Amino acid sequence: MVLRLIIRYAVWVAALAALLFVLAGTVAWPGVWVFLAEMAGGMFTIGFWLAKNDPALLAARLDPIVQRGQARWDKVLMAGYFMAWIAWTIFMALDAVRYRFSHVPGWAQAIGAVAVPASIYVIFLTFRANSYAARVVKIQKERGHAVVATGPYRYVRHPMYAGAILTFLGAPLLLGSWYGLALAPVLIALFAVRAVMEERTLARELDGYAQYAARVRYRFIPLIW
C-alpha cells in the first residue's frame, strides 16, 4: 500500500506541476514551487502517518472518487468538483503568469503560504479523529461505521471541508491570482451542497448522526454556517 501511495501522490504532484508550468509558459513562478512543496509535504506526511496508524482509512482515501455503492448524486457532485478544480487551476496559471491580469502583493502571497499548510493540518486532525473519512459518501458497514464527535468534530460537522476552504482561499493568493480567489466560492459552494446531501444520508442511515447534528450546530465555520 505504501508503494501505491508513493506512486499515486507523486503522479498527482507531477501532473499538477506540469499543468501549472506549461500553462504559465515558465518555471520561474516561485509561488508554485512553494505550493507544490507544501502540498507534497503534507500529502506524504499524512499518507505515511495513515499507513502506520490507520491503513484502512488510507486504503479508502486511495480509492477513486467514483465507486460502487456510492450515491448517484455524490458521483455527479464529485465529477463536477473535479472538473471545476481543473478549470480553476488552469485559470489561475493563465491569470497570474501567462497574461498577468492579477498583481497580488507579497504580504497577500505570504498569507496564502500560511493558509495552505494550515488547511493540511486541519485535514490531518480530521483523519486522526475519523477513521471513516472516505473519499465518497457511503455507510461503511463492513468497518463498523459509527458517528465521530471527537477532535475537530466537536466544533463543526465537516472539518475536512473546512480545512479545504483554507486551500481554496490560500492557493490563489500564494499563486498570485485575484481572479482565482474570486472563483473559489464556486468550489466552496459545491462542498456546501455535498455537505447538506451527505448529512441527509448520514441522518437516515447512520445511527446517532441526527442527535450529533443537533448538538453540533455548524457545518464549516463556527458561528457562521
Q: Identify the structural domains of the chain with CATH numbers, from first to last.
A: 2-215 (1.20.120.1630)
Distance separating alpha carbons of residues 48 and 62, to the nearest angstrom: 12
Query: What's the pTM value of the predicted model, to 2 decimals?
Result: 0.92
Dihedral (CA of 184, 186, 192, 198) sign: negative
What pLDDT, in 10s, does the model give residues 42-56? 999 999 999 999 999
All three cell numbers of 98, joined, read: 501567462
What pLDDT, in 10s, does the model give residues 77-112? 999 999 999 999 999 999 999 999 999 999 999 999
All three cell numbers of 181, joined, read: 480567489
Distance separating alpha carbons of residues 91 and 178, to the nearest angstrom: 11
